[in-house]
Amino acid sequence: MSGHSKWSTIKNKKGKADAIRGKIFTKLAKAIAVAAKEGGSDPESNAKLRDAITKAKINNMPNDNIDRAVKKGAGDLSGNNYETITYEGYGPAGVAVVVEALTDNKNRTAADIRHAFDKNGGNLGTTGCVSFIFEKKGQIMIEKGDSVDEDELMMLSLEAGAEDMNSEEEGYEIITDEMNFQAVYDSLEKENIKIASAELAMIPNTYTELSEQDEKKMQKMLDMFDDNEDIQEVYHNWDEK
């Protein structure tokens, strides 16, 4: 999940139990398998697969699991015919929400997503109703530490093709365009810089603040999306503090 406070999301995932981690691995494996099925098993020539593998590694998914998912996708994918579907809607107080799903039953998935919106003061919208305020970018998060020099990190990132770097209390956010994401990631990895998170994400251009009551509704909605194995990613413009 991606929002204004990316660090809160990272901390939340780190604190999850093994059972939840297993659910995350299931989602990652599905994304890898579908990417391999659609574009081939070679990540060098299949950018979608390469991005899915990068994200899996960032989430500490074992290499055996990654290899198994690639082979599964390159083969038959167990007969499942997954479809990529993007849903758009509004959370509490009009927060913009984009939900990306991989499903073999779009009626079930649409009903589940609509329920999560409705139950928490939001509503499922039509295609294009909120996506115009988001832009697809590479987003790489680096935790602050004694081994990370801000000036050196910025220089390395910009030379590799990054657009910008933001310094926050917990760490650094490096923004790239979609095409340069992998090159920047590889440059950082080559320098043994510990990466907390890396993904192609939908970054909002504007943010919405919520009251304490609406924050609780929004978090509950996000938790419901997290628990749904059909849902791969959720992007929103909630201005988390």
The domain spans of the chain are 6-79, 83-132+206-236, 133-204
Using an 8 Å Cβ cutoff, are 119 and 141 in contact? no
Residue for token pair 């994918």: 77
pLDDT at residue number 145: 83
Q: For the whole model, what pTM was predicted?
A: 0.84
**Domain 133-204's class?**
alpha beta
Question: Which tens digits make up the pLDDT trace of 110-145?
Answer: 999 999 999 999 999 999 999 999 999 999 999 888
Smallest CA-to-CA distance from 233 within 14, 18, 55, 78 is with 55
User: Any idea which fold 83-132+206-236 has?
Assistant: Alpha-Beta Plaits (3.30.70)
Q: How far apart are the C-alpha atoms of 174 and 5, rounded to whole Å?
A: 14
Instruction: State pLDDT tens for residues 172-224.
Output: 999 999 999 999 999 999 999 989 989 999 999 999 999 999 999 999 999 99
Options 1.25.40.10, 3.10.450.200, 3.60.40.10, 1.10.10.200; CATH of 6-79: 1.10.10.200
- Mean pLDDT lowest among 6-20, 102-116, 134-148: 6-20
Q: What are the structure tokens assigned to 169, written together?
A: 């209390």
In 3-state terms, what secondary structure has residue 202?
strand
The pLDDT of residue 110 is 97
Give the Cα separation of 109 and 230 in Å (integer).
7
